[in-house]
Amino acid sequence: MTHTSSTDQIPASPGIPRHVAIIMDGNGRWASARHMPRVAGHSKGVDAVRATVQACVDQGVEFLTLFAFSSENWRRPADEVSLLMRLFIMVLEREVTQMRANGIRLRVVGDTSAFEPALRKLIDESQARTASNHKMTLTICANYGGRWDVLQATRAMLDARPDLAEAGAPITEADLAPYLAMSFAPEPDLFIRTGGEQRISNFLLWQLAYTELYFTDAFWPDFGAVELDKAFDSYRVRERRFGRTSAQVAVPIITPEH
Ligand code: FPP
């Protein structure tokens, strides 16, 4: 399926975001505030994932994308990395049956070649078992980085289209877009980051071009239906101009012809 590019055409902006992308931050601080080990925060974070997935399905969100493990998270202490991997395996083993029942299609994007073979196999099986579901696509970004994505897409594009490597070749967005890891989804309408920090941290750099950004101090383990509603309330009153003026936004969308 091809989707509108926000820099090429003006996408429709319904009241509920079609695609929500979340950086789940604050697990460690949630745990520290309770004198618990950081890993307890990650375990509790899995409950928040479950609650948020359900809330998004209930609200009619079509795509939910979660940043579970960044290319840079390998820098964490080895025991924390290993716990995060085990949690990932546990989520896939335990939740896929429920995802099938709820009509959720699971996708995992990122450089999964760095994962152990058993996890890679589980990822492949989980994606295959949910491939025909249509209610909502849940994407887990694992060993993902926005810069990695643009580079891997560029390499894949040039492998497929060596003519584009020639000097002066007229490369367009549309040439690159099919090779980006999230090519199956529209660009996110709403980006949420929990945990009080206000940065993108190498998440979906290409895809966030015109996404509305929402930051909350709530730690990820405290996130769920109530916090999601607050984010949606904020989103609903945003004026999405996609480069136009306010006066232009007031008249119906006219998609430019190319
Ligand atoms: C950021 O909190 C969170 C992570 C790096 C991992 C997120 C993982 C989960 C919520 C559990 C696994 C989920 C899935 C979908 C498999 P932080 O540790 O950076 O918190 P801090 O900033 O308070 O230290």
- Residues 6 or more apart whose CB falls under 8 angstroms from that of 244 comprise 10
Cα(27) to ligand 1 centroid in Å equals 5
Report whether residue 68 contacts ligand 1, using a CB cutoff of 6 Å.
yes
Confidence (pLDDT) at 36: 97
Question: Is residue 41 within 8 Å of residue 216, measured between CB atoms?
Answer: no
Catalytic site positions: 25, 73
Taking only the tens place, the pLDDT of each residue in 30-62 is 999 999 999 999 999 999 999 999 999 999 999
- Return the minimum-mean-pLDDT range out of 13-17, 24-28, 82-86, 142-146: 13-17
In this model, does residue 92 exceed pLDDT 90? yes
Cα(24) to ligand 1 centroid in Å equals 6
Q: What are phi and psi of 151, to 5 degrees?
A: -70, -45
Report whether residue 86 contacts ligand 1, using a CB cutoff of 6 Å.
no
pLDDT band at 258 (very low <50, low <70, confident <90, very high): very low
Can you tell me whether residue 119 is helix, strand or coil? Answer: helix
pTM recorded for the entire structure: 0.90
Question: Is residue 99 within 8 Å of residue 128, measured between CB atoms?
Answer: no
Residue among 22, 24, 106 to mutate when testing ligand 1 (max atoms within 8 A of CB): 24
Q: Identify the helix (H) or strand (E) that includes residue 147.
A: helix 146-160
Question: Is residue 138 within 8 Å of residue 107, measured between CB atoms?
Answer: yes
What sign does the CA torsion over 57, 95, 140, 69 have? Answer: positive
Average per-residue pLDDT for the chain:
92
For the chain, which domains are there? 19-161+169-249 (3.40.1180.10)
In the chain, DSSP assigns E strands to 19-23, 63-70, 104-109, 136-144, 190-193, 212-215
Nearest CA to ligand 1 atom 24: 28
Cα(42) to ligand 1 centroid in Å equals 5
Average pLDDT over residues 160-184: 96
In this structure, which amino acid lies at residue 173?
A: E
Q: Alpha-carbon distance 54 to 145, whole Å?
A: 26
